[in-house]
Chain A
């Protein structure tokens, strides 16, 4: 069974801290990795896509890396802000299928 695991499941930090969210996957056929943000009761907002030929992507205060050999991806959030509070989901795209395989998410709370 294809599995994507996210650690930690929940995280609460004071404003200004640098954060690392982890995503690991068991399916060696995963070839790219997409990170999403989800606010409560809302849809998903794409943050970063690390394509199959890439190892990392950056957007503003966000940096994501992908190591397919170890089956891991990390999302780094610099100088966290209360507006970053949300659930962060990683999803892998597989060579074998066109669907995304999602983790269960990390629920982040940044307090002032």
Chain B
């Protein structure tokens, strides 16, 4: 069990560019979550997958954001036409069970800076 991994750990991009982040969940975890955290705030939910199905999306996830989990394993989060307001830490988490009371395990995050 190697934990949740995220890549890259840091990304600096210019406004208007597209960026893509990757998350590898803990092996055998069928649920995968994306959160966004801005400075001084708690994480806010963006979206989650059960296997390859995207089950819920936050209103924070504008049409510039898209997430995929094509084979039910790793996931990608893409932001198109980045804006300065997209600067944040993007956190991925995974969970082992379908039932409620699932404990979520978080990765180290990807810090995005839009200049």
Please report A residues at the B interface, Cβ cutoff 8 Å.
4, 31-32, 34, 36, 41-46, 49, 51-53, 89, 91, 93, 95, 97-105
Whether the pair B101, A42 counts as a contact (CB closer than 8 A) is: no
B45 CB within 8 Å of chain A:
yes
Provide the residues of chain A in CB contact with B91, threshold 8 Å. Answer: 43-44
Please list 17 pairs of residues, one from A and one from B, whose beta carbons are closer than 8 Å in the complex, sorted by A's number.
A32-B100, A36-B106, A42-B109, A43-B106, A43-B109, A44-B43, A44-B106, A51-B101, A53-B101, A93-B101, A98-B31, A98-B48, A98-B56, A99-B33, A100-B35, A104-B40, A105-B42
8 Å CB contact of B42 from A42, A95, A98, A102: A102
Asked whether B106 lies within 8 Å of A46 as measured between CB atoms, the reply is yes
Compute the total of residue contacts between A and B using a CB distance below 8 Å: 67
Q: Number of residues in B with C-beta < 8 Å to the partner? A: 28
Q: Which residue of A lies closest to B92 (CB)?
A: A43
Does B104 touch A at the CB level, under 8 Å? yes
Nearest-CB residue, chain A, relative to B107 = A43
Whether the pair A49, B103 counts as a contact (CB closer than 8 A) is: yes
The chain A residue sitting closest to B42, CB to CB, is A102
Question: Are A104's CB and B101's CB within 8 A?
Answer: no
Q: Are B41 and A104 in contact (CB under 8 A)?
A: yes
Contact B108 A43 (CB under 8 A): yes
Given the interface contacts A43-B91, A44-B91, does A100 sit within 8 Å of B100 by beta carbon? Answer: no
* Residue B44 at the chain A interface, CB threshold 8 Å: yes
What residues on B are CB-neighbors of A4 within 8 Å? 42
